[in-house]
């Protein structure tokens, strides 16, 4: 689950066209499988991206992913609000045909039923190195450098399955 949010967050950050720009993104409904359940996912997000000295980017955003079970109409909403700092604008050449960027996320994710109470909350921070092929930009690795926070202790899939079935 956290990997999905981080992937979406990274893609969302790349969707901003220039430094110092506010943006709003709405993606079309997409069929997916979450925790063994076929769902339709809708995604909306908004935020601000600013490139500061030395190619460091600051990105403050919030995103909502709604997972709806088309078989019964039940839905859950994953809301994330984060501030991240990264080096997407100035990657490090690793000298072996790969490049790496460093990123640090701090924020909160909350899983709810629509207009309902929280089912799970995870707040904290994560620092990581993302490595890609320098030519193709194909994903190579994701290394957690540090993490901390206050998870609810709930297993994401068990909560999602219970809410969507």
Using CA of residue 61, residue 19, residue 141, residue 44, what is the dihedral sign?
A: positive
Q: HSE-up of 6 (CA within 13 Å, CB side)?
A: 20
How do the pLDDT tens digits run along the chain, 165 residues long? 444 444 444 444 444 444 578 899 999 999 999 999 999 999 999 999 888 777 788 889 999 999 999 999 999 999 999 998 988 878 999 999 999 999 998 999 999 999 999 999 889 998 999 999 999 999 999 999 998 887 666 788 999 999 999
CB atoms within 10 A of CB 146: 9
DSSP state of 165: -
Contact 23, 47 (CB under 8 A): yes
CB atoms within 10 A of CB 125: 15
3 state SS of 9: helix
> Which residues are CB-contacts of 125 (< 8 A; sequence separation ≥ 6)?
104, 105, 106, 107, 146, 147, 148, 149
Structure tokens at 121: 């909350």
């Amino acid at each position: 689950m956290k990997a999905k949010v981080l992937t979406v967050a990274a893609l969302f950050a790349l969707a901003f066209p220039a430094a110092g720009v506010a943006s709003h993104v709405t993606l079309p409904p997409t069929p997916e499988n979450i925790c063994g359940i076929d769902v339709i996912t809708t995604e909306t997000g908004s935020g601000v991206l600013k490139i500061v000295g030395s190619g460091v980017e600051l990105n403050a955003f919030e995103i909502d992913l709604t997972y709806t079970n088309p078989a019964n109409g039940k839905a859950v909403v994953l809301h994330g609000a984060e501030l991240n700092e990264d080096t997407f604008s100035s990657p490090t050449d690793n000298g072996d045909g790969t490049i790496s960027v460093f990123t640090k996320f701090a924020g909160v994710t909350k899983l709810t039923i629509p207009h309902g109470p929280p089912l799970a909350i995870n707040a904290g921070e994560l620092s990581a190195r993302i490595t890609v092929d320098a030519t193709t930009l194909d994903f190579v690795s994701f290394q957690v450098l540090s993490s901390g926070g206050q998870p609810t202790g709930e297993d994401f899939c068990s909560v999602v399955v219970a809410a969507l079935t």
